[in-house]
Chains A and B, each alone.
Chain A
Amino acid sequence: MDLNFTAADEAFRGEVRAFIDKKLPPDIRRKVLEGQRMVKDDYYRWHVILHEQGWIAANWPKEFGGPGWTAAQQHIFEEECADAGAPILSPFGLRMVAPVIMAFASPEQQQYYLPRIRSGEHWWCQGYSEPGSGSDLASLRTRAERVGDKYIVNGQKTWTTLGHHGNWIFCLVRTNAEARKQEGISFLLIDMKTPGITVRPIIMIDGEHEVNEVWFENVEVPVGNLIGEENNGWTYAKYLLGHERTNIAEVGRSKRRLKRLKEIAAKQPGSDGKPLLQDVRFRDRIAQVEIELMALEITNLRVISADMEGRAPGPEASLLKIRGSEIQQTLTELMMQALGHDALPYQHAAMEPDFSGEVIGPDYGVPLSGQYFNFRKTTIYGGSNEIQRNIISKMILGF
């Protein structure tokens, strides 16, 4: 039993930290730390920097071009990136479709797609949810009919995160309407430049454009874009959902937000003119969430250490997702609350880094209310927390 990282791990941490210090562009770092609006190029530049270093595919095995890191190293890398204010790498290519391609795609498909995911040439989006298929994903209705050497795809996907940046989308499509709902689904890779695809923005509760609807109208997809076997897509879909867990708890980013929350509470006025951080009631609420986060960090390491011993990904990921998302929501809520009345003004334009107008309230307050509203998504996406509870109920408690 040893809760501490090895000396080699700590040396690795130093190496990662030095690299980020040197290579993370200051303008991107500032945007992330101060919550300003990000553009595609911000994500892309950081992606390319990591690619050139050979660190872009942190969770990939060496044979597919990953750095060959242990689970502990992957964790340290994530933590350092989060702490330094590096942008979140879009997970859809690197962490979602890539493991499916490695596990189930043909060698030709692997050779074509994997290097393009690493280089950033392909920006992947996820085509899972549909307007009528949220938690009940297997009820999806987007059809793919095979005609000769093509599939003709018709239907609608939704909640496509950063779909307006993407050029490829992996989709679950119905290829057999007669079979049991899980057994008629296929996993299809679609080039978003194909005629018949329309991407429409969905404006989120914070006024930002983050997710989209994607419409498919007689979209022709070569059969060579099918992953694995036809009608076996549900297996791959579940593999994908169960596979991503190294960062599901978001411990690193929550630690950074906690630090930020304390900084803000130290600057904000509390009662009797003292800083808000001296206000016992408010400070106790910070303490509560900090303690919950300390525990989650250990829980996360427990799961990682089980991974390192080669135990298969298990339902513990649901535990990390539930508590991790609750903590993220509490932190964003407390940051908003720290602002008092200054949380009210909606200052959309002030989210731009070059904004030169007058800000009402402190500069750091501008994005905080929006972030709170936006982060209600965290208990909904990636399998709602109620679905996660169903998973634990079934897989761990045996109901």
Chain B
Amino acid sequence: MNFNFSEEQQQLRDTLDRYVRKDYGFEKRRGIINGNDGWSREVWAQLADLGVLAVGLPEEYGGLGGGPFDTLLVMEALGRGMVVEPYLATVVLGAGLVARAGSEAQKADLLPAVAGGDLRLALAHYERGSRYDLARIQTTARRDGDGWVLDGHKSVVMHGAAADRLLVSARTQGGISLFLVDAQAAGITRHDTPAQDGHRVAEVALKGLRVGNDALVGAEGAALPQIELALDHAIAALCAEAVGAMGSLIEATVGYLKTRKQFGVPIGSFQALQHRAVEMYLHAEQARSMSYLAADKLGASDVAERRRAISGAKVLVGNAARYVGQQAVQLHGGIGVTDELAVGHYFKRLTMITLLLGDVDHHLALFSEAMGDLP
């Protein structure tokens, strides 16, 4: 048992923290999210230079061979600074899926390019009407000669417009399959939309999209467990991001309580407000513990064990993010609900994290259902 990060890991965290603090200030971020793309190529190149994009990828494909705890450190640091670049979509979801399920050719083609900052990916899985049910998708892929033709509509695809290639799930005869497609291909229409939290999401329409057989990722009909695992990696990463964001929010809120004066005294001298801040801290510490557990169990050989940890983490972190976000706004008073202050933006990101990839109710149900047969 050991809760320390290695020297290399600490270095990575410090480097990234310094970069985010110095070069990714709130006003810079505002400029990025209001820009055309909603993300910055310059920032992306800098993340590549810092080795951040490579850290979680396998060494034989240009990565640094890190594991879930390296991803956790990166996501926590990105969360502290509300970084909107498509790290989660490209590296955690996209490259992670390819590294685990892709062919040698696919890995060699994509992973070094991701690590070097030259390629972005997105997972297009959920559809209108899926809600959080992974298996409820209607996009189809039918065999056509020695290739496939895809038809369907993917909804709220995280950073779908930033991606050069899309990983698209579709129903095939044998079940659900995954295809790697060029985002610019004829037959794909992407509609980019700003999200509530400054990130971007895309509606992706597939109409008679033709791909070769080499577009198939993994075996035909066998993609669902891989998609579930990829999304679990993303949930663990989101939990770490939320822990980072909550840390920043608590720091800002405690700082505000100590300086804002009313009735002639700092409002932080009032016990009612101190205890609220303490409750935020308690939520955040428990959330940190759960983010560790989630990262630790990503590699569990028993899927039920992984499910328990990931869903448990999403429930606890979701509840914590909601409490910390809402109370940070409340304790800031009127300026907490303005666009001007970072606080409201952290709140919005935390809120969207609670909704992404299954909300508290969804994961509580998964956790709870597993108990039904016991003891």
Contact = CB atoms under 8 A, between A and B. Distances in A.
Chain A partners chain B: yes
Interface of A: 1-6, 9, 72, 259, 262-263, 266, 277-278, 280, 283-284, 286-288, 290-292, 294-299, 301-302, 304-306, 316, 319, 322-323, 386, 389-390, 392-393, 396-399
B263 interface: no
Contact of A284 (B274, B288, B365): B365
A104 B6 CA distance: 38
B10 to A, nearest CB: 11
Interface string B271-298: 1001101110110011111101100100
Contact of B1 (A3, A296, A399): A3
B257 interface: yes
B352 interface: no
B371 A283 contact: yes
A266 B315 CA distance: 24
A289 B260 CA distance: 36
A399 B269 contact: yes
B1 to A, nearest CB: 5
B6 to A, nearest CB: 8
Contact of B289 (A290, A296, A304, A386): A296
A92 to B, nearest CB: 28
Chain B interface size, under 10 / 10 to 19 / 20 to 34 / 35 or more? 35 or more
B188 to A, nearest CB: 40
Contacts of B254: 397-399
Nearest to B67: A1
B242 interface: no
Given A1-B296, A290-B367, A305-B2, 14 more contacts: A1-B6, A3-B296, A283-B371, A288-B364, A290-B371, A291-B290, A291-B312, A294-B312, A298-B290, A299-B286, A302-B3, A397-B278, A397-B281, A399-B254
A283 B368 contact: yes
19 contacts: A1-B2, A1-B5, A280-B368, A287-B315, A287-B367, A290-B312, A295-B290, A295-B293, A299-B288, A301-B1, A301-B3, A304-B1, A305-B2, A319-B281, A323-B282, A386-B275, A389-B274, A393-B271, A393-B278
Interface in B1-31: 1-6, 9
A263 B375 contact: yes
B316 A291 contact: yes
A292 B316 contact: yes
Contacts of B312: 290-291, 294-295
A299 B289 contact: yes
A302 to B, nearest CB: 5
Contacts of B334: none
Contact of B274 (A2, A3, A266, A393): A393
B292 A298 contact: yes
Contacts of B244: none
Contacts of A319: 281-282, 285
A284 B319 CA distance: 14
Contacts of A259: 375
B315 A397 contact: no
Contact of B374 (A9, A277, A288, A306): A277
Contacts of A297: 289
Contacts of A301: 1, 3
Given A277-B372, A397-B277, A305 B3 contact: yes
Contacts of A291: 290, 312, 315-316, 364, 367
Nearest to A1: B69
A290 to B, nearest CB: 8
Contacts of B296: 1, 3-4
Given A262-B375, A263-B375, A6 B1 contact: yes
B1 A5 contact: yes
Given A1-B69, A295-B289, A262 B374 contact: yes
A283 B5 CA distance: 37
B63 to A, nearest CB: 19
B13 to A, nearest CB: 12
A316 B286 CA distance: 12
B171 to A, nearest CB: 30
B81 interface: no
B68 to A, nearest CB: 9
Contacts of B4: 1, 305
A280 B69 CA distance: 34
Nearest to B268: A399
Contacts of A322: 282
Contacts of B3: 1, 3, 301-302, 305-306
B261 interface: no
Contacts of B375: 259, 262-263, 266
B131 interface: no
A280 B287 CA distance: 25
B258 interface: yes
B147 to A, nearest CB: 44
A159 B370 CA distance: 43
Contacts of A277: 371-372, 374
Contacts of A396: 281
Contacts of A316: 285
Contacts of B275: 386, 389, 393
Nearest to B279: A389
A335 B53 CA distance: 49
Nearest to A284: B368
Contacts of B278: 389, 392-393, 397
A295 B286 contact: yes
A283 B375 CA distance: 13
B368 A3 contact: no
Contacts of B309: 294
B289 A302 contact: yes
